[in-house]
């Protein structure tokens, strides 16, 4: 009997990238401004959808180039010296252990540096739980659904889970059971902003984290 599939995002879903994003932000700031925010304060800004450089410029009347920051971040944030700050959520491995018994698991993540992603998930032990790793490049910003369909068929009994609108759009386009986890960089306000149509919004299920997937009935 074939197993149903779970398509799972990585950053914010399996690992916390909070410390990694904060570390890059602090490294980029001028010397006299490196202590302006704690990590938790920084994260509060991020989950509200506020660009960190816009916040710094507004509060301190600075002129840091936001686009130069974004360009530098895109180039460096996937280097191993920053990826080392990613942290597995405490529940991630136990949940993956349980889910793989009932489902075929597919990792679907948006990364530009494929080799560093593979190295990361080898080192943290996550790679062994997934039947396939589907890496979607940032460039071009194709929907993740296109890359999934290039690898396998998707049924209405399958699941797509992630922490951003990018993941939810993919799940909806695929016609899969679509789950939004609040463990990452977005909160529920994003749903109403990005999915104003009631029909789409009603098809998105909200859970705290992937730990709740193993206790849900998908029949």
Mean pLDDT rounded to a whole number for the chain = 94
Residues β-bridged to residue 4:
103
| 26 and 8 in a common domain | no
pLDDT of residue 162: 98
| 36 and 11 in a common domain | no
Confidence band for 218, pLDDT divided at 50, 70 and 90: very low
Confidence band for 142, pLDDT divided at 50, 70 and 90: confident
Q: Is 63 exposed, middle or buried (0-12, 13-18, 19+ CB in 10 A)?
A: exposed
| 200 and 119 in a common domain | yes
Instruction: Identify the domain boundary among 83, 106, 137.
Output: 83
Structurally, how many domains does the chain consist of?
2
Q: What is the pLDDT of residues 14-51, one digit of tens each?
A: 999 999 999 999 999 999 999 999 999 999 999 999 99
Q: What is the pLDDT of residues 187-216, one digit of tens each?
A: 999 998 999 877 788 899 999 999 999 766
Instruction: Identify the domain boundary among 52, 83, 114.
Output: 83
């Amino acid at each position: 009997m074939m197993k149903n599939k779970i398509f799972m995002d990585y950053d914010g879903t399996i690992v916390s990238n909070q410390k990694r994003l904060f570390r890059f932000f602090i490294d980029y700031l001028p010397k006299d401004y490196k202590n302006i925010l704690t990590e938790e304060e920084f994260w509060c800004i991020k989950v509200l959808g506020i660009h960190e450089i816009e916040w710094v410029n507004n509060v301190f009347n600075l002129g840091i180039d936001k686009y130069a920051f974004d360009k530098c971040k895109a180039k460096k944030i996937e280097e191993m010296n920053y990826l080392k700050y990613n942290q597995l959520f405490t529940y991630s491995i136990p949940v993956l252990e349980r889910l793989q018994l009932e489902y075929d698991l597919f990792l679907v993540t948006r990364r530009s540096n494929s080799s560093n992603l593979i190295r990361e998930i080898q080192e943290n032990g996550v790679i062994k739980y997934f039947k396939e790793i589907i890496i979607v490049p940032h460039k071009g910003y194709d929907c993740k659904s296109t890359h999934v369909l290039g690898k396998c068929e998707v049924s209405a009994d399958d699941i797509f889970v992630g922490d951003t609108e990018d993941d939810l759009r993919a799940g909806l386009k695929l016609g899969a059971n679509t789950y939004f986890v609040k463990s990452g960089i977005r909160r529920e306000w994003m749903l109403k902003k990005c999915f104003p149509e009631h029909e789409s919004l009603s098809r998105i299920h909200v859970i705290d984290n992937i730990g709740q997937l193993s206790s849900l009935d998908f029949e």
